[in-house]
A and B are shown apart, each in its own frame.
Chain A
Amino acid sequence: SVLLYQKPNRDICQSGTSLKIQCVADSQVVSMFWYQQFQEQSLMLMATANEGSEATYESGFTKDKFPISRPNLTFSTLTVNNARPGDSSIYFCSSRAGGRGEQYFGPGTRLTVL
């Protein structure tokens, strides 16, 4: 399995500001995924980040709004630019231990935008 750590656990920010969410894995992983979850709803895949390449974004998510960095095989950051109240949700990083689907999640970062 893979253990994922996220920082911060929660954050409150003002509209128009930017914030960074960090994700650290306890072992090297090829792909890291970032998900958004609104209160008790399903998860939405935002983007997939592989080391040394640009993240691949899903429909509805853009690089300008949610830039993601993946500088090495254990680390990724998600930035929320120009935060709006509609961005208030939980953000999870995730990764796989093997190639066939077992996927693990970080504890999540609960973001509130005022």
Chain B
Amino acid sequence: GEKVEQHESTLSVREGDSAVINCTYTDTASSYFPWYKQEAGKGLHFVIDIRSNVDRKQSQRLIVLLDKKAKRFSLHITATQPEDSAIYFCAASWMDSNYQLIWGSGTKLIIKP
């Protein structure tokens, strides 16, 4: 079945720098790729997504890139701020699975002052 691998378990960047979190997937039929943020002790919040008909999407400081050939997608957080510190989860889904989400293992992002 589909697997989603999230490569960085922990990522530490200096405030103001950019952070990049990478995920790969196995099923070429995957067509929807959301990202979620989980702050300490809290629930998951949707942050941004990308669909397979585009290769780039931006929302303010968040950029998602999708490379279908490499089956890779990444979340770029620019000009990081302390409030970006959290665990970020990537996921993938596809239409035939009724868009059931397959989750990555999470990346703990630490923003250093």
Contacts and interface: CB of A to CB of B under 8 A. Distances in A.
Interface string B34-65: 10100000111110010100000000000000
Q: Is the interface of B mostly helix, strand, loop or mixed?
A: strand
Interface string B1-44: 00000000000000000000000000000001010100000111
Interface string A76-95: 00000000000000001000
A99 interface: yes
Nearest to A98: B99
B73 interface: no
A67 interface: no
Contacts of B93: 101
Contacts of B99: 96, 99-101
Residue in A100, A101, A107 with the greatest tally of chain B CB atoms within 10 Å: A101
B103 A103 contact: no
Contacts of A100: 32, 51, 95, 99
Contacts of A43: 44, 89, 103
Given A42-B89, A43-B89, A43-B103, A105 B108 contact: no
A43 B43 CA distance: 11
Interface of B: 32, 34, 36, 42-46, 49, 51, 87, 89, 93, 95, 99-101, 103-106, 108
Closest 8 pairs (CB-CB, A-B): A101-B32, A101-B99, A107-B43, A105-B44, A108-B43, A42-B105, A42-B103, A105-B43
29 contacts: A40-B87, A40-B106, A40-B108, A41-B105, A41-B106, A42-B104, A42-B105, A42-B106, A43-B44, A43-B103, A45-B100, A45-B101, A92-B44, A96-B99, A100-B51, A100-B95, A101-B32, A101-B49, A101-B93, A101-B101, A102-B34, A103-B101, A105-B36, A105-B43, A105-B44, A106-B43, A107-B42, A107-B43, A108-B42
